[in-house]
Structure 1
């Protein structure tokens, strides 16, 4: 015969349990930080040789520079662009993509066209916003991700060469991206369009949707924000757990933090335009996010994923084994890179034109 529990006793147990949970929550908040002993972290054994080389590379040599003005950032950006620009021709050749400089309503941009566009993609158009902490990768240096998407996915892509310090500060990059988006929606049906970008470009991708919602503009059919700088206030577990493990960003107090602050130019960093994770994501289009297990912005990425799911948005998350920030846009010959962009293309194909 089942045991009957008196309602008052049950209530007492329930109250005790609630009290225990409350005490546990307070205790967790007040608990001292976990002390982790020093350890060596090897390159994973189940990655490709190309990705293994990227993962095993030393920490970025200039991760701890701290330019405080756009003028101080300019030579850094130019040096990086010169080095990266030398790699672009090879990428274009290997992936059979053509690139053309253009201007769209006064905004600098590039149009990337794959040698072969399958019938299902002929009416589709993607808009790309590059990364670089809002201060790096001007001109062709911002093209690798767009080249990979055009080549592996065989989509036509418009890449926005948005203004950065010292030329302009917030909201210049956002304004330029939105100018191109408005124009692009007149070139193709928004139901056949998507927006994508990595790092600052991932944050801009999210911010563009927030602004399109605010301004009553058409939304893309899908978006792909990669390892987005979704919280420039540096909230998130991986800012601690992956510090000095991510060999690109390295530290939450490194170069990228300074770059974002220079671009913000005193604007509130918690504004959803600069930290989109704090924006209203109800009504967002289907989203595919990409990050890595060593990414300093892993938490930035998973927090966006959770925010989207809580808002009822279809959201897909792919995580690269051992990868630091944006490793998937470093080498087009790495199988992991191909898989990332083929996965994004698969996701876009599910939603564009539907």
Structure 2
């Protein structure tokens, strides 16, 4: 009895486990913070952009990809791209086109690798990543043009639209939705499903969470949002569905899974997207993850693994 009582005394408490988890994640949190909030977030000077882009490279190294998942970079008609191939349960008939985040001003293949490898692992699908051109060097519509190039490449390989899942996080979620708007406007078939992680759907920042949750968001500031949209959209109308896909006609869009954390200023972007998809008759599942931050799925922690497992179930059950 005394030995059992002693063991209970030395067993870590829930608070101790939480503190240990926070210490373990601290370097990764710093790296992601550097990505989304430059030292002078209102500045898009080359030095600040270099800092953001270097932060994403660092993040890609800190968050190691899954063991057994192959990473195969290649040149896609002058655009850097990479295949992420699962190590087991390889489903060759389906593919995921993954659009990385970074506010349209940063992002690269290295940053794509952690989430792409997780997607490949939980689904058994190959994942195509592409490094679209970035603002301010290449403002809108360079990124959507590059997304169309990646889509057309999959069609050239023999995939049909029904074989493709388009996934994206943050600005990549914006890009995934914009791609659907462009395909629909061209009279082409849309992808089979959408997987959207903390999607940026409203560049006008009109949702309530932009004010209500700004003090609890550990990653993104309004100054950052204003800075990146200025250099990306420039003088374009921010209400355009090709910038704010929330405001477009969402009818006949693919069934979607949306994941968002409670501690995000972009929270409203996900909730309002769900509401508009449902009104348009599109099947949509919104998952709200308590106490989570922007694109938490990238992190090496249990909650992120649970969210990715939910993505796998969504795709495998629905497809």
TM over 0.5: yes
Equivalence for 2:112: 142
Equivalence for 1:193: 164
Contact 2:59 2:111 in 1 (8 A): yes
d(CA) in 2 for partners of 1:314 and 1:272? Answer: 20
Equivalenced residue count is 299
d(CA) in 2 for partners of 1:48 and 1:306? Answer: 34
- Counterpart of 2:166 in 1: which secondary structure? strand
Deviation at 1:49, TM superposition (A): 6.9
Equivalence for 1:324: 293
Range 336-345 or range 283-292, more displaced: 336-345
Matched, 1:306 2:275: yes
d(CA) in 2 for partners of 1:150 and 1:203? Answer: 21
Deviation at 1:350, TM superposition (A): 2.8
Residue number among 329, 333, 347 corresponding to 2:314 in the alignment: 347
Q: Which runs of 5+ in 2 are unaligned?
A: 1-13
d(CA) in 2 for partners of 1:165 and 1:83? Answer: 20
Shift in CA distance, 83/286, structure 1 to aligned 2, threshold 3 Å: same
Contact 2:109 2:130 in 1 (8 A): no
CA deviation vs aligned residue, 1:169-192 (integer Å, no higher than 9, x gap): 111111101111122123222212
d(CA) in 2 for partners of 1:151 and 1:260? Answer: 33
Contact 1:305 1:316 in 2 (8 A): yes
- Counterpart of 1:337 in 2: which secondary structure? helix
Range 140-149 or range 274-283, more displaced: 140-149
Q: Which runs of 5+ in 1 are unaligned?
A: 1-43
CA deviation vs aligned residue, 1:9-46 (integer Å, no higher than 9, x gap): xxxxxxxxxxxxxxxxxxxxxxxxxxxxxxxxxxx97x
Matched, 1:208 2:183: no
Equivalence for 1:25: none
Matched, 1:169 2:169: no
d(CA) in 2 for partners of 1:151 and 1:134? Answer: 26
Deviation at 1:100, TM superposition (A): 1.1
Deviation at 1:167, TM superposition (A): 3.6
Larger radius of gyration: 1
Matched, 1:270 2:215: no
Structure with higher RCO (Cα < 8 A, 6+ apart): 1
d(CA) in 2 for partners of 1:345 and 1:259? Answer: 32
Residue number among 248, 254, 263 corresponding to 1:285 in the alignment: 254
d(CA) in 1 for partners of 2:39 and 2:273? Answer: 27
TM-score (norm 2): 0.86
Deviation at 1:152, TM superposition (A): 2.5
Residue number among 63, 73, 87 corresponding to 1:115 in the alignment: 87
- Counterpart of 2:71 in 1: which secondary structure? strand
TM-score (norm 1): 0.78
Equivalence for 2:188: 217
Contact 1:73 1:166 in 2 (8 A): no
